[in-house]
Structure 1
Amino acid sequence: MSEIAGKPLDESRNDALRGFVFAMSAYAMWGFLPLYMKLVAHIPATEVVAHRVLWSLPVAAVILLVLGRTSDVREALRSPRTLMMAALTAAIISCNWGIYVWAIATDRAVETALGYYINPLVSIAMAAIFLGERLNRLQIAAVCLAAVAVVVLTTDAGGLPWVSLSLALSFAAYGILRKTLPIGPSQGFFLEVLILTLPAIGYLGWLAFSGEAHFGPASPTDMLLLIGCGPVTAIPLILFASGAKLLRYSTIGIMQYTAPTMIFLIAVFVFKEPFGGVKAIAFALIWAALALYSWSMLREARQAKK
């Protein structure tokens, strides 16, 4: 029987198919997430994020129990260095969540789409700066086009497109730092939400005490929506982590444009956010940059295969 990288051909194909289903399911959930976040737009972003943390914990815990990976978490809890790094990545991802929730609530979903389009380009730029990775000519050209798009938006708005840049920079930093955690993706996510749970409970307790909480029997719809923030946060992250393990990096790199494309379409055609003129030019530059970036990844993958 033919083999690929030490695996039978049929097994490799099955792994790739399962990885594709996992990753595409995650991107589809992320793509439709603005529709869910719009339902809680009347609730402050900080309260929504606190509930995302709180209700993600039991989902992540159940998945770890099913996978039998709890021993890894126990070891991580005994490592001060791992706990410090997890606290840092948890702080970064919670800021990313907060900006995202606020942007959707304030009709800036187009800017969130732009941020997640820019993200892979920011990631390769940060890898070059902080990890010493070399960029090829196509990647350099892609980063330059993205920079021109930011300049175009800045000139038009009279200030930096901070929502897009904050989302792109925070998620890129999270991705780079997350690699330093000596723990698997599912275990790492559980550890992050575990660290964030105590401040989340404290904040939600303060809201309840002050009478400002939206969670309670007086508003059952809000209560159910806030509980649902846990599964819609945890499940796509864990699906993505499972898919990424089974797919080539170049495949994941191409698939990652699915979510921002869906967010963009929802923003323009469902939320009816304005799009035209300068924004259209900026997005055209970003799409051209992503085309160059994707081509460079595919070319590298082919060369590596040869």
Structure 2
Amino acid sequence: MKKGIIYAVLAYLSWGFLPLYWRLFTAMPAWEILAQRITWSFVFVAVLVTVSKQWKRLKSVGSSRRSAAAIVLCSIFISLNWFLFIWAVNNNHVIETSLGYYMNPLISVLFAVVFLKERLSPGQWLSLCLAGTGVLIMAVQYGHIPWVAISLAVTFALYGLAKKIAKLDVLLGLTGETIVALPVALGYLFYIQSQGTGTFASLPFFSILLLMLSGVATAMPLFWFAKSMQLLPLSLVGFIQYIAPTTSLLLAIFLFNEPFTEGNLISFSFIWLALIIYSFVTFKKSKERVVPVSQADAL
């Protein structure tokens, strides 16, 4: 279990510190950063798939219309999520990104009701109501809906739904998703370069090197997360996941100097209370499931 906790903490700390990484490229438009991220992510995972000799397996999965459609949807949703995150970080909306990822488990629960027809317990409904109240408070404070937070939570929750259909491991899943997005990314990069508006070639060598490593920065936390899921109960991973938005929130307040008002605190307090109730209900359910299994001596 100790190794699993280390993998989970590494994954979520990496995601939490991602705003620091993308802030290194504030001179680049968000669309160009996204295109570079997709390209270098593909290069990195393609090497891994080649070394592990899994191209045939990916091809066989892609031959299924259902799986292929799911991979396309995954690619669309994760690309939108990446773009929104990069844009938000480089436009001083890191607090909203943290709110979005705090909300993500609750949005996923809501989607489970809408799309998978799952039933919620009273505690889960209470969590959703509290989260909705928190969002409304922030909307009143801002004078508009916190669209960055909601969009990040919704796109990632939709990505999770599509992943359930695709049923691919982390490596093949990311490979398939980047293959789908790669033609658009490369086409965009070639276009802006031909128009003289691309910034990649004019970057200092060190910045180019860092951008090329975006594939590693994208893939490694996913691999660590997948490993932690193999070694830890889902309920424990559920608690650890809040390291990421908490880290981003602290960066936003203390490093990026984004204003964290009294209204923000009230709004976040509703979200945090919702997550405490949600986590308690989830943990209780997982404990209830374990009892009959252990009594039956099943593996």
Matches within 5 A, 1:195-210: 195-210=180-195
Decide whether the 8 Å contact of 1:41 with 1:104 is kept in 2: no
Decide whether the 8 Å contact of 2:16 with 2:246 is kept in 1: yes
Matches within 5 A, 1:225-240: 225-240=210-225
How far 1:87 sits from its partner (Å)? 1.0
Call closer, same or farther: CA 1:135–1:218 in 2, change over 3 Å: closer
Which residue of structure 2 aligns with residue 305 of structure 1? Answer: 290
The root-mean-square deviation of aligned C-alpha atoms, in Å, is: 1.5
Q: Equivalent of 1:28, from 3, 8, 13?
A: 13
| Residue type of the alignment partner of 1:111 | E
Which residue of structure 2 aligns with residue 7 of structure 1? Answer: none
| Residue type of the alignment partner of 1:160 | I
Which residue of structure 2 aligns with residue 128 of structure 1? Answer: 113
Query: Sequence identity of aligned pairs in percent?
Result: 36
Looking at structure 2, the residues matched to 200 and 61 of structure 1 have their Cα atoms a distance apart, in angstroms, of: 16
Which residue of structure 2 aligns with residue 80 of structure 1? Answer: 65
Looking at structure 2, the residues matched to 300 and 66 of structure 1 have their Cα atoms a distance apart, in angstroms, of: 41
Matches within 5 A, 1:56-205: 56-205=41-190
Alignment pair present for 1:289 and 2:274: yes
| Residue type of the alignment partner of 1:59 | F
Decide whether the 8 Å contact of 2:104 with 2:156 is kept in 1: yes
Looking at structure 1, the residues matched to 203 and 36 of structure 2 have their Cα atoms a distance apart, in angstroms, of: 17
Decide whether the 8 Å contact of 1:72 with 1:183 is kept in 2: no
Which residue of structure 2 aligns with residue 266 of structure 1? Answer: 251
Looking at structure 2, the residues matched to 92 and 301 of structure 1 have their Cα atoms a distance apart, in angstroms, of: 29
Q: TM-score, normalised by structure 2?
A: 0.93
| Residue type of the alignment partner of 1:277 | E
Which ranges in structure 1 are unaligned for 5 or more consecutive residues?
1-15
How far 1:235 sits from its partner (Å)? 1.4
How far 1:62 sits from its partner (Å)? 2.9
Q: TM-score, normalised by structure 1?
A: 0.91
Alignment pair present for 1:220 and 2:175: no
How far 1:68 sits from its partner (Å)? 4.4
Residue by residue, what CA displacement relative to the aligned partner does 1:196-228 show, whole Å, maximum 9, x if unpaired?
111111100011111111112663243223212
Decide whether the 8 Å contact of 2:68 with 2:166 is kept in 1: no
| Residue type of the alignment partner of 2:115 | F
Residue by residue, what CA displacement relative to the aligned partner does 1:182-201 show, whole Å, maximum 9, x if unpaired?
32222111110111111111
Residue by residue, what CA displacement relative to the aligned partner does 1:94-143 show, whole Å, maximum 9, x if unpaired?
00000100000011100000000000011111101111111111111111
Decide whether the 8 Å contact of 2:66 with 2:166 is kept in 1: no
Looking at structure 2, the residues matched to 250 and 65 of structure 1 have their Cα atoms a distance apart, in angstroms, of: 34
Which residue of structure 2 aligns with residue 8 of structure 1? Answer: none
